[in-house]
Amino acid sequence: MKRMKYGVLAVALASMLSFTSCLDGGENSTTMTYYEIVKKDALTGTYTSQMGYKVAPLNPADLANLPSASDYIQLHYTYDYAQDMTDGEIDATVYGYSLIRDGMWRPQAPAEGDANAPVSDVVLDSSNKPYDFFYKLDDLFLPIELFVRKEVDTNDVQEREAEMATHEFTLYYNADEDFTENGMTLYLRHKMLNVEDDDEFTQLSGGWWHFNIIDAMARYQEKYSKRPDKIIISFERNTKDVSYADNLVSEGKEELDYKKIVEFNEALSGSKGISKLLRGKR
């Protein structure tokens, strides 16, 4: 299975709404497209960017009644950067979204029995902007390619999310063995739930999982009095199926430049106004 680039996967995972005509308006237009992970505010109906501004959808009905398994969602939207943003809020038209599920963490090394299936890939690309995989400093998001049941209609949001609810992901870490002065290694493990004998996991799909790693960060800072420069995600990879056949399974490793995440957040804390932040085009 050919490895997807992150940007391609981000679009592939997005559920597109019924209209796509309101994208960039041309060379002289002030309309821009953007995608980012935001935090949902159920009371106001807005979504808070880690950059500090709020995204107010002009088409809120299109986002109503979505399945919810996390406080976060990735939005694909267009906005006019010439609008008045002094109140810290932007009006935007959402044309797509990716739902996010919450994963778990364990402060121990993974053991036999902690997983029952490898994954096809974890698609991280450090050439992307750092907030593609983080919200502030302690909330990590992993786009994961995995095999799902062959009969699942992945274009149906409800059916797709029902399937994703049967895939459980956990990050493990052993601070004594896997933390070094340069960085930390986190081990991703996958469990398929409610598996029947006749289930066939032959359809390649993917999804976003969120992990709050504040505990791992606290342990790291306790040990080294600083944050890590890099984070390595180790996972069990099989690009053919969900078996543990010796000739098919290998250790996959993806590295995130966490130092850039820290620098990015430091830059945000000193930023004045959001207009300049939003001029970068995706």
Q: What is the pLDDT along the chain (282 residues), one digit of tens a residue?
A: 445 555 555 555 667 765 544 455 556 678 888 889 999 988 888 999 998 899 999 999 998 888 878 999 999 999 998 898 888 899 999 999 999 999 999 999 999 889 999 999 998 875 556 568 999 999 999 999 999 999 999 888 889 999 999 999 999 999 999 999 999 999 999 999 999 999 999 999 999 999 999 999 999 999 999 999 999 999 999 999 999 988 999 999 999 999 999 998 888 876 655 555 555 444
Residue 7: CB atoms within 10 Å: 15
Q: How many Å apart are CA 114 and CA 173, to the nearest integer?
A: 13
Q: Please report which residue ranges of the chain form alpha helices under DSSP H.
A: 6-13, 157-164, 175-178, 214-224, 258-269
Residue at 93: amino acid letter: T
User: What ranges make up the beta strands (E) of the chain?
Assistant: 15-16, 31-41, 46-49, 54-57, 72-80, 89-102, 104-106, 121-122, 134-135, 139-149, 167-172, 183-192, 201-212, 230-237, 250-256
DSSP 257: -
Q: How many Å apart are CA 255 and CA 271, to the nearest integer?
A: 28
